Amino acid sequence: MGIYFVFRSIGVYLAYVAYKFLRAKHNIEETKKKRKLRYLEMYKEKEQKKGEIQNQKYGDRKL
pTM above 0.85, yes or no: no
pLDDT attached to residue 54? 77
pLDDT tens-digit profile of 4-51?
A: 889 999 999 999 999 999 999 999 999 999 999 999 999 998 888 887
Domain ranges of the chain: 17-53
Q: Of the candidates 54, 50, 31, 52, which has an alpha carbon nearest to the alpha carbon of residue 42? A: 50
Query: 11-21: buried (b, 16+ CB within 10 Å) or exposed (e) per residue?
Result: eeeeeeeeeee
Task: Indicate whether 55 pLDDT > 80.
Answer: no
